[in-house]
Amino acid sequence: MIATLKGRLEYRGDNSVIVNVGGIGFRVYAPSSTLNQLGTIGDEASLYTHFHLREDNASLYGFISEKELVLFRDIISISGIGPKVALAALSALDPEQLVMAISTGDSEFISQVPGIGKKMANRIVVELKGKVDKQWKESVLPLTTENADVVSALISLGYSVREASQAASRIPTSSELSLEEKVKQALQQLTGE
């Protein structure tokens, strides 16, 4: 129904903004990653949106990128998971981290998000793994199970999933190397040392 919004930012809250479009103020709920990139009151804001309609509520959700919007829609397509949980996931993890966790089956990583327990994290992994692998195939490189921990460690250090995946894929496959040694090798590749 409402695919995008472009207008002046009138209000910033903890989990929403009001965007004035042609004299009409739209309250848009958004993850913290989007809120952090919107600028200040009076700035122009542009958002990809999802209109969520239930019998007792109509809400608008906004995202700075189309990738976030697609991931949000994928998460809420799972029975029993609503927009609040999807926003919590996208607020706690950036899309690449979430995609990598789903792709590698790391439900433990996803269960660290407030409001998502182990059972729900497992459902997210099981129900979205195939979708994520197809939609994000250029972002997520195939990983061996042993290198998934290296990628997770690099992501937690602030590297993108793509950078972490590429560095981990260049590490020699050796069971003699500890996780710490593998992370050190990957960091050397990333920093060019």
Question: Residue 126 has what pLDDT?
Answer: 93
Question: Residue 99 has what pLDDT?
Answer: 87
Taking only the tens of pLDDT, the chain with its 193 residues reads 789 999 999 999 999 999 999 999 999 999 998 998 998 999 999 999 999 998 898 999 999 999 899 999 999 999 989 999 999 999 888 788 788 888 888 888 888 888 899 999 999 999 998 888 787 765 554 555 567 777 777 877 887 766 777 777 778 766 677 888 888 888 887 887 6
130 and 72 in one domain? Answer: yes
78 and 119 in one domain? Answer: yes
What 3-state DSSP class applies to 133?
A: helix
- Please count the structural domains in the chain: 3
State which residues form the domain around 75.
Answer: 66-135
Domain boundary among 37, 63, 89: 63
183 and 163 in one domain? Answer: yes
Domain boundary among 63, 78, 111: 63
Residues with Cβ < 8 Å from 180, sequence gap 6 or more?
none
Amino acid at 74: D
pTM tops 0.85: no
